[in-house]
Amino acid sequence: MFTYTINENGLTVEELLRTKWRLGKKIVHELRMAKAVTISDEPILWKEPLDKGTKIQFAFDVPASNYEPTTECNVVIRYEDEHCLIVSKPKGMATHPNSPDDKNTCMNHVMRHILNNGGHYVEHVHRLDQGTNGLLLVAKHPIAKSIFDRMIEEKTIIRTYAAEVQGNIRTDSGTIREAIGKDRHHNTRRVVSPTGQHAVTHYEVVNRYKGTCVVHVVLETGRTHQIRVHMAHLGHPIVGDTMYGARETSSGDYALHAIQLAFEHPFLNESVVVKDQ
């Protein structure tokens, strides 16, 4: 299904899977039982040191994802290789279905792209709010999903957003460390709460205007509505974000854009930086 090139002398398959990729015991066991790892289609000893440059093959059964495909894929693919793709999700489109009736989400469109190219598995690694547009990372096989999920947890996938906020933030940069929880009085709203989940947002002011400023924001955690809640907590809600106290705009919308994804690719052993236009 895919080939991986060993990039250091003496690395074993066991070390690659357990130490470097840190796959779960279940996945490693399944790969071993299926004899899924080979060299030139020959079985391999998992604890045998391999030379740098050795190409090993992975071939295993991949389950089919259950997103119903759209007729056409109408989302832009910004990056793609055999392990993942990065799509530009439009504003107003949900990341994934929340009910059987949701058939026009970003993942439904991505499923059409995958099927058109001979695949049948695709799962999002993180999500974007419906009102947020921009870059979304999607895994194309279960091993990639497992590794990218861990990278999100360990904050080694750097997600950068741009937002225009009300007023002018006094400091040019800063970090917001405020836990976020559900609003007991509103089903979908979130609030800063000492009993909420740990949340960290880094921001930098990149442009200042008369009554607003533009900030670039890097998420260290990925809580629901995190940027919206944290900027409102600073007293500078995102322009148009009426749910969090901003004035309504003529479009009735707010502007939050996932503009960049950056990470060290675990399969290609190279840096990937993708920007949205």
Active site residues: 129
DSSP-derived pairing of the beta strands 256-264 and 133-139: parallel
From residue 141, how far is each of 58, 105, 124, 129, 220 by CA, in Å? 11, 20, 11, 24, 25
Angle CA(37)–CA(39)–CA(44) in degrees, nearest 5?
A: 60
- Backbone phi, then psi, for 237, in 5-degree steps? -65, 155
Q: In what order do the strands lie in the sheet with 55-58?
A: 2-5, 55-58, 37-39, 42-43
Neighbouring CB atoms inside 10 A of 122's CB total 24
Side chain identity at residue 24, one-letter code? G
